[in-house]
Homo-oligomer: A and B are copies of this chain.
Amino acid sequence: MSLALKNHIEKIVSLTDEEFKYVLSFFTKKKLQKHQFLIASGAPVQTDHFVLKGLLKATYTNDEGKQHILQFAMEDWWVTDYQAYFLQTNATLNIDCLENSEVLCLTLENREKLCRELQKIEHFFRIKTSMGFVAQQQRILSLLNKDAKGRYNQLLEQYPQLLQRVPKTILAAYLGVTRETLSRL
Contacts and interface: CB of A to CB of B under 8 A. Distances in A.
Contact of A119 (B87, B122, B125, B130): B122
A68 B137 CA distance: 13
Given A70-B144, A122-B119, A145-B62, A86 B130 contact: yes
A6 interface: no
> Taking the full assembly, how many copies of this chain does it contain?
2
A126 interface: yes
Interface string A124-161: 01100111111011111101110000000000000000
Contacts of A131: 86
A125 B143 CA distance: 27
A86 B129 CA distance: 12
Interface residues of A, number: 31
30 contacts: A60-B141, A60-B144, A60-B145, A62-B145, A66-B145, A68-B141, A68-B144, A70-B137, A70-B140, A70-B141, A70-B144, A82-B130, A82-B134, A82-B137, A83-B137, A86-B130, A86-B131, A86-B134, A87-B134, A115-B123, A125-B126, A126-B126, A126-B129, A129-B129, A129-B133, A133-B136, A136-B137, A136-B140, A140-B143, A143-B144
